[in-house]
Amino acid sequence: MSQKTWGGRFTGATDKQVELFTESISFDRRLYRHDIIGSQAHARMLAEVGLLTAAEAEQIVRALDEIRDTIEAGQMEFSVSLEDIHTHIERALIAKLGDVGRKLHTARSRNDQVVTDLKLWTRDAIDELDARLADLQRAFVESAERERGVIIPGYTHLQRAQPVLAAHYFLAYVEKFQRDRDRLADARKRVNVLPLGAAALAGTSLPIDRESVRAQLGFDSVARNSLDVSSDRDFALEFVFALSLIATHLSGWAEEWVIWSTTEFNFLDLPDGFCTGSSIMPHKKNPDVLELTRGKTGRVIGALQQLFILVKGLPLAYNRDLQEDKTALFEAFDTVQGCLAVAAPLVRQTKLRRDVIESRLDAGFLDATTLMEALIARGTPMRSAHEIVGNLVRECEQRKCRLADLPDSSYPDASVKAALGVGNALAAFKSYGSTAPAEVDRQLREWQTQLS
């Protein structure tokens, strides 16, 4: 008898090259746990509606548990002739139970099965990532707490702009990763809609109960249109988009810290455990973890491109192209997961070089904008105040001095000089969401409560 689940229709065997070309077992085997819980829920439902006896369902559920244990013990033999994980598990079941095993696939197709497995897997992946992102946020919050009083230069165009509290800086990343978590939570809503029961594409004439399967598997609702179900990979694209944005956030941060760890900046003391040396230059300490975090972003965004190109132009309903979704999904997830695993400890172990940062705070006119605002507060129109301070900065560049070093006579009103100096400039901030010390303190407390 043919090994194939579709063997009845065929007399000739599948070409060996074609088996190699069409297999997915080499990458979809990691869905085994989700395939098994999906099948167990399906079997229980089949018994509830009378398509299996209770004893048969019981046998199937138990045998599937054993198959899971066999796979986890590394004792399942995988073969490309059985194509995918779904076929392997069904074949193993039939080998154990004979005719009872041959009933499991009643009112089900691999088309709705594979997307159910993928959604169950994606749901777990989202929950795992959420926990990792929360840990990374905690690492940034801990840094914010540790470096609370420290003032650093804030940059735009990578040019010195205005002073900010280090805590404000660290909390900026907490915000980015919070949006990433919110995005994942939103994508999860569309992941959590049950596909199973759509069968091949049109549903089934058998009396299935999709609500029972929904409740057993913890889905929020049941997919309404069977034709839509087996072609729907929106959830995978959304998830990989969310992953791409996480990777992009990580990449920007990594780039910043690569720059900050140069001799030229020297803002950071990176932990030895997260750097590597050079085989020829004895003095080198390279920020490889940060560089690879930046570099691996390409894989994730590449996976998103791969998925878009995969689904674009596919007619309804299932098309075999869709088998190719998994490599992109897994690659994107594994990459981001790997980056997050090293990011949190790296953040926790990295210290600011406070002395270096402080010794250079006077450079770059970080107090110029506050000086302009002090003039505005005294009634000077904004554009005029801008021009006055611009002229003062030019004068400083000629004299090679700070704004505070200019004679009183250079100022239209010498009392505005009280605004000068990085400490005064920082203390002057007031607005909601600004780097004002009270504002940053309040937000730090809020994050500490929210993330505890």
Decide whether 114 or 366 has the Cβ nearer to ligand ARG.
Answer: 114
Buried b or exposed e, range 138-173, using 16+ CB within 10 angstroms: bbbbbbbeebeebbbbbeeeeebbbbbbbbbbbbeb
What are the tokens at 429? 């901030």
What is the distance between the alpha carbons of residues 110 and 112, in angstroms, rounded to a whole number? Answer: 6
Q: What is the DSSP letter of 318?
A: -
Least Å distance, CB 47 to ligand ARG, is 25
Decide whether 78 or 265 has the Cβ nearer to ligand ARG.
Answer: 78
Angle at 16 between CA 15 and CA 20, to 5 degrees: 115
Decide whether 39 or 143 has the Cβ nearer to ligand ARG.
Answer: 39
Decide whether 24 or 435 has the Cβ nearer to ligand ARG.
Answer: 24
Whole-number Cα distances in Å, 220 to 163, 188, 223:
48, 10, 10
Catalytic residue among 157, 205, 279, 431: 157
* Residues 58/48, Cβ–Cβ less than 8 Å: no
What are the tokens at 235? 């959830």
Amino acid at the residue 259? I
What are the tokens at 168? 């404000």
Interface residues with ligand ARG (CB under 6 A) are 24, 28, 83-84, 110-111, 114, 318, 320, 322-323
Parallel, antiparallel or unpaired: strands 159-165 and 151-156: antiparallel
What is the distance between the alpha carbons of residues 71 and 32, in angstroms, rounded to a whole number? Answer: 8
What are the tokens at 17? 């090259």
Decide whether 323 or 435 has the Cβ nearer to ligand ARG.
Answer: 323
Decide whether 59 or 323 has the Cβ nearer to ligand ARG.
Answer: 323
Whether 409 is catalytic is no
What is the distance between the alpha carbons of residues 287 and 290, in angstroms, rounded to a whole number? Answer: 6
Decide whether 212 or 323 has the Cβ nearer to ligand ARG.
Answer: 323
Catalytic residue among 26, 278, 359, 384: 278
Whole-number Cα distances in Å, 121 to 29, 166, 223, 239:
12, 39, 17, 12
Whether 157 is catalytic is yes
Environment class of 236 (CB within 10 Å of its CB; exposed 0-12, middle 13-18, buried 19+): buried
Q: In the chain, what is the straight-line distance between the N-terminal and C-terminal CA atoms, in Å? A: 60
Amino acid at the residue 197? G
* Residues 177/245, Cβ–Cβ less than 8 Å: no
Catalytically active residues are: 157, 278
